[in-house]
Structure 1
């Protein structure tokens, strides 16, 4: 929701450029500091190279490659509301804040040992990040990545042992309601955090029975509908953030076919396209 809108054609071309030019031995001459807004910038994550490319959306030129030497498989990026700051994590629990105008890392944090998924609050003040290990969600100050709170996952029986459930994904939902949805993979639960209660970050709702192996989540335009894929089933768990949270109603499970392993979806208005593995 917070990612600056980019031209899909330009993005496609940029990805091709990234594939052709990726490599640790390639360097680029730095351009002069930006004197325009950030809405025309594109960022490509080079996962295996532990780096990102900042690309000019007008001339499709690479502005700079920024190295992330401490990040294993960097992923799950989010932008600040103004598009200037870019946050992303490595699967090893490394988290970084990048200033796209200064073209450098300006803050770093260790949030866990195995991490997935991140989101930013509507006002851009708080960053949420999820952990597989230890099973938890972390809330950070977006300015310096200081950890403000850690939410432990619900205890779940996994492989014959009781442990905190892994956090599969974190998604900002509800639009102006400013809510965060925490999806607990092993427990099949979704917890809703009201961002307006900061710095307490109160959990106002806990939904159970979302699925046997919940994973990727998406949200419709405006943030009303939250869609969560169940990897071990052929359904998508759908939450109406305007009604279900207030009225204590049950979220809808929509079948997407006979094959399991649904993944992320893309929404256009109220029409959503769900991928199936």
Structure 2
């Protein structure tokens, strides 16, 4: 018998590799929440196209999600208390549990093994095995729980609306340890953590200012930020609460959407002192930095939510303003920031723009789109 030639061996190897035709790279993908349908759209950034619609995720009227470290699975947190594990490779629901009556977001641990959900009803935080969605820990708080983020060292940090406390749950050892920090302020409404995992900041609805924690401190203590700033004695109407995960870090400064005011605030990231203000078209909801930090894109609360403004982070001036359409709910930059995707709910569109020329590149049809989440988030603390 003649020896097999190299070309024949190659052909046989290819024929014996059933996964080759099905191989899919996840780094270029993302999910878009369709809030009215209980579905998500799987999209391709480079193609600027929809790949699939995945249905059956429940009430997504206020939904968010996080990704597994390998970017294969998305964990979607629904308003109905649903926690849904979506497989973006097979484009199916891998698992789903309804773990509470009203959920408000979640986080995934830095090792990707635990998924935590914060709840309004019955309150508290529940933590699940990321693989099986089996309950690992139930942390009652007797309060609506907000601002849940992951922190380095298999920790979760979250804050209570009713009691003004922040708790740190450490699951790095078999016995979970909880650190409770009081006096965070009156009615904290949301929170963020910096990308290095050091600073946790809560926004306050019931009093002026914000509160920060230095998580590198062995015993973190509340640090008041902008104590004379807020709605003040003459309260301003608030049409929609700003989203603190949409706060921007540009170089050495935070850019924060002001509660009830038509402006964003600039704060030194080291000293937490105010460095400036930029007047805006409306009450900001998201103030999001392009990945290189040079621009901040801002959208606004109803009834002025048809407009986007772009701020230069060096001059702090508005350099561009345009109206994509009615109800611009969310923005997401491609990982290196050359494009931005905008969900325009009442137009039923996701619109894609070049961030340097501001040219509109494409529209994608979507049913009441809201949150846009690219898989690059899998590798960033707090997202």
TM bin, normalised by shorter chain, reads 0.7 to 0.9
Q: CA contact under 8 A between 1:236 and 1:254: conserved in structure 2? A: yes
For 2:193 and 2:35, locate their aligned partners in 1 and report how far apart those are by CA, in whole Å.
25
Structure (1 or 2) with the larger CA radius of gyration: 2
Give CA deviations for 1:53-85 in whole Å, capped at 9, x if unaligned. Answer: 110111111001111353352512111112111
Give CA deviations for 1:192-220 in whole Å, capped at 9, x if unaligned. Answer: 111312x43221x1101112111211111
Q: CA contact under 8 A between 1:221 and 1:268: conserved in structure 2? A: no
Q: CA contact under 8 A between 1:34 and 1:101: conserved in structure 2? A: no
**Aligned pair in 2 of structure 1 residues 192, 269: CA closer, same or farther (>3 Å)?**
farther
RMSD: 2.1
The equivalent of 1:272 in structure 2 is 254
The equivalent of 1:196 in structure 2 is 172
Give secondary structure in 2 for the equivalent of 1:128: strand
Superposed counterparts of 1:107-256, under 5 Å: 107-153=95-141, 164-173=142-151, 175=152, 177-197=153-173, 199-203=174-178, 205-243=179-217, 246=218, 248-255=219-226
Give CA deviations for 1:159-201 in whole Å, capped at 9, x if unaligned. Answer: xxxxx1111131112x3x332102111110001111312x432
Aligned pairs, how many? 229
Q: CA deviation at 1:34?
A: 5.7
Q: CA deviation at 1:51?
A: 1.0
Q: CA deviation at 1:269?
A: 5.0
Which segments of 5 or more consecutive residues in structure 1 lack a partner in the other structure? Answer: 1-31, 154-163
**Aligned pair in 2 of structure 1 residues 72, 40: CA closer, same or farther (>3 Å)?**
closer
Which segments of 5 or more consecutive residues in structure 2 lack a partner in the other structure? Answer: 1-19, 233-240, 260-383
Q: CA contact under 8 A between 2:164 and 2:188: conserved in structure 1? A: yes
Q: TM-score, normalised by structure 1?
A: 0.77
For 1:63 and 1:131, locate their aligned partners in 2 and report how far apart those are by CA, in whole Å.
32
For 2:213 and 2:21, locate their aligned partners in 1 and report how far apart those are by CA, in whole Å.
43
For 2:88 and 2:21, locate their aligned partners in 1 and report how far apart those are by CA, in whole Å.
10
